[in-house]
Structure 1
C-alpha cells in the first residue's frame, strides 16, 4: 500500500493526526524535499528508508515504490500542502495502477489555507466574494488558454496564485488587464505557517515592487481581492432575524 500524505503548509505540527500516524508507521518515505519541512522526518521510525524526490525522476520514484511493495513494506509519499494541488500525484497513481499496487490519499492543510491564517482573512465574505480561484501563471509549465490570468481575473473573485513569485511584473499586468483596478488590495505571503513566515500587504500595481523591496523571489503565495479591504455584509446565518433548521428567527 502506498499512502500519499499531505505534509501541511509548513509548520510540522500542521500535519494531520492520520498523516503523522502513517509517517510513524512507514518503512519507506519518499518526500518532496524542496518544500516539505524536514522536521516532519523526526516522526519516522529509525529503521525507515528515506528518499528525497527533489533529486528523483517519476520513474525513479515508482521504482522505489515497486521495490518496497514487493518487500511488503509500508510506503508514504509525502507531499507539501495537500497533494491535490500542484502535487503531480495523478501520474504516480496511474503508474501504481499499471503495477497493480494499491494506494490511498491522506489530505493535508494547503498553503492557501495557511496564507489566509497569516492574513487573518476570510476568502468568502458576503456581498464581496463567494468564490476562490486557485491558479498559477504560465511559466515552464503552461496553462490552458481558457485559464489565463486575465480571463480568470474578469470574475473579480478572490484569487490565490501559486508558483508565480518570479513572474510578478507580468502577473500584475494580467490582473489589471482582466479588470482588477490598480489599487485593488493584494498580499504576498512568504512561507505561510513556517517559522520565518512573512506577510507583505500591497496593491495589484505594486506586487512586483513589494517583492523586490523585500527580496522575495520564491516560496510565496499571492492573494488578490476585495476580501482584503475589510468591508463586508454580516452573515445571514447568525442574523437573529434569519431562521434556520436549528433555531427560529427572532422578531
Structure 2
C-alpha cells in the first residue's frame, strides 16, 4: 500500500522505498532525536550517503546490515551527486543524511536543483535543529510573553558571506532570542556586534556538539563570550543562544491563564 510520503508498506508493514533520494535530517547528534519517519527510511534504504564529520556513527545503527554506506566528508558535490544519480537510476533508494534540519545551513538547495535537472525524484525529511535541543537542555522557552516573542537564526560572515541587510549588528538591534550558528571562529567580531545592542550581562548559552557524547553547555555573560570560547578551545560545531529568556523572574503566558478564554475554553 502506498502512503502519501512516497514509499510503500507491504503486508508486514515494512517499508519498500521508491528509487529516490531522501534528504534526511539526522538531528544534532543524539540518535533518539531522529524522527520516526527518518528512522523508518534509514531502516529500509539501499544506500546511505552521510556527512561523517557532522553525523555520529551511532545514527547508522538503524541502517540495514547490507546497506551501502558512503561517507562524504572528503567529497565535493561533484563527486556526491553522480553517486546519488547512478544509484537511483539503478533502482535503488538513497538517503542523503545531513546533520540537524536540512532547511538550515545544510547546502541542500544546490543538491535539489541538480537532482531536479537530472530528473531524479527526491524528498526532504525534516530533523530536529540544534537551537531546539539547546532550549530543551537549558530548560527555557525562547518566546516568553512580555519579554521576547521572536527567534532569529543566523550566523556571522566568514568564508560564507552574510547579505549586508542581515548583518549581525542590525539583527541584534531587535534584542530577540538570537541563535548564532557557525560563528565560533569569528567570536570576537560576533561579540562586539552583539554588545552594540545587548547589555554586557545578557546571559549567553555556549552549546558545543549538542547530542554528542562530549556535549558541553556553558552559560556566561555576553562580555565573557569570546574568553570562554577560547578557554574551551571551541572552533566548530558550536551554537550560541543569546536571549533574555535565560534571565530569572519572567512572567507567565496568557494561554493557560484562568482569565484567558478561547474556542476550547469559553467564558462561563
Q: In the alignment, is residue 116 of structure 1 matched against residue 131 of structure 2?
A: no
Partner of 1:88: 107
Structure 1: give runs of 5+ residues left out of the alignment.
Answer: none
Match of 1:180 among 198, 201, 205: 198
Preserved contact between residue 182 and residue 205 of structure 1 (Cα < 8 Å): yes
Q: Which moved more, 1:231-240 or 1:78-87?
A: 231-240
In the TM superposition, residue 28 of structure 1 has moved relative to its aligned partner by 0.9
Q: Which segment is superposed worse, 191-200 or 74-83?
A: 191-200
- In 2, Cα distance between equivalents of 1:185 and 1:12: 29
Q: Find the counterpart in structure 2 of residue 21 from structure 1.
A: 40
Q: 1:102 aligns with which of 113, 117, 121?
A: 121
Between the aligned partners of 2:56 and 2:263, the Cα distance in structure 1 is 43
5 Å matches for 1:91-170?
A: 91-170=110-189
Superposed CA RMSD in Å reads 1.1
Q: Which residue in 1 is equivalent to 2:264? A: 246
1:225 to 239, 243, 259: 243
CA contact (8 A) 1:189 1:220 kept: yes
State the TM-score, normalizing by the size of structure 1: 0.96
Q: Please give the alpha-carbon distance, in whole angstroms, between the structure 1 residues aligned to 2:130 and 2:208.
A: 10
CA contact (8 A) 1:116 1:122 kept: yes
1:152-201 per-residue CA deviation (whole Å, 9 max, x = no partner) reads 00011000000011211111101112x11111111101111222221111
Q: Which residue of 1 aligns with 2:17?
A: none
TM-score with structure 2 setting the length:
0.90
C-alpha separation in 1, matches of 2:132 and 2:55: 16
Instruction: Please say if residues 118 and 192 of structure 1, whose CA atoms lie closer than 8 Å, have aligned partners that are also in contact.
Output: no
Residue of structure 2 equivalent to 1:199: 217
Q: 1 CA distance for matches of 2:223 and 2:31?
A: 34
1:47 pairs with one of 63, 66, 70: 66
| TM-fit CA distance, 1:39 | 0.6
